[in-house]
Amino acid sequence: MRLSGKNLSNYQKTLLALAAIGALGALVWLRAPLVYEAHTTLLIVPGQSPAPFDTTARVEMVRQVVLSDKHLEGVIDQFHLYPNLAGHSTKDEILARLRESIRIEASPAAQPRVVRIAFLHRDPAVAAKVANRLAALMVQEDNGLRDQQAESSTGFLDARVDLVHKMLMEAEDRLRNAKGAPAAEIAVASRELDVLTHNFTKLLDMKMDADMAAARAKDRGESFMILDPARIPEKPVSRVLRAGLD
């Protein structure tokens, strides 16, 4: 089939338009800011006596406390994160953005047993500082956990039940406030609520066994130790096409 001059002209125009769109997309991509990810690793050091609950549950409990509103608001203030979101985003939206940039993964069954923490940011130095701060908070909260166990397992669990219950209420509020938000944001809020509900139920079960575990908890149990502090990343992991990572 032969194209007439008019059809050929239209065909050429279409090609030029597609080429222009592709060039514009490439330009937007190239001008998008780079994102860096800093990593730090915690070693789970075995204790002298069995813990009153398994390592996976312990790591998850400490992680939930570190990712609570109180601690994350402190991190935002300390490192002046997300100034471009202030004034036109809610506190919950800013906290959600921070949580999206944090990754805390445990491998308690591996040898050695470790917890890996990662943080994404456009400034590599800030990425490293925040990752190290999160690691310090994990150690701090775990130390608090062990110290309270040594004093009184029952008293510790009472305090944790209250704390996780408060976090559960906050998560329920976030899910209610997410109505009308994008499906992905609602899904994240729903998953967080499911995890907190599961942890709260486990805490209530642990409380029933606290008296039996109190004697074993007198010795310092397993602990977290910073094995590999975060360093300033040299290479970016991606580019970001939305605001909010600075």
pLDDT at residue 243, rounded to an integer: 46
pLDDT at residue 12, rounded to an integer: 59
Range of lowest pLDDT (4-18, 58-72, 141-155): 4-18
Per-residue pLDDT tens for 88-106?
899 999 999 999 999 999 8
Cβ neighbours around 208 below 10 Å, total: 9
What percent of the chain is predicted at pLDDT more than 70? 72
Query: Structure pTM?
Result: 0.62
pLDDT at residue 40, rounded to an integer: 96
CA-CA distance, 232 to 111, in Å (whole number)? 26
Strand duo 238-239 + 102-107: pairing? unpaired
CA-CA distance, 244 to 133, in Å (whole number)? 20
Task: Please name the residue that has the structure tokens 């609570």.
Answer: 68
pLDDT at residue 79, rounded to an integer: 96
Residue type, 49: S
CA-CA distance, 239 to 241, in Å (whole number)? 7
Per-residue pLDDT tens for 37-94?
999 999 988 876 655 557 788 889 899 999 999 999 999 999 999 998 888 899 999 9
pLDDT at residue 27, rounded to an integer: 45
Of residues 41 and 240, more confidence is placed in 41
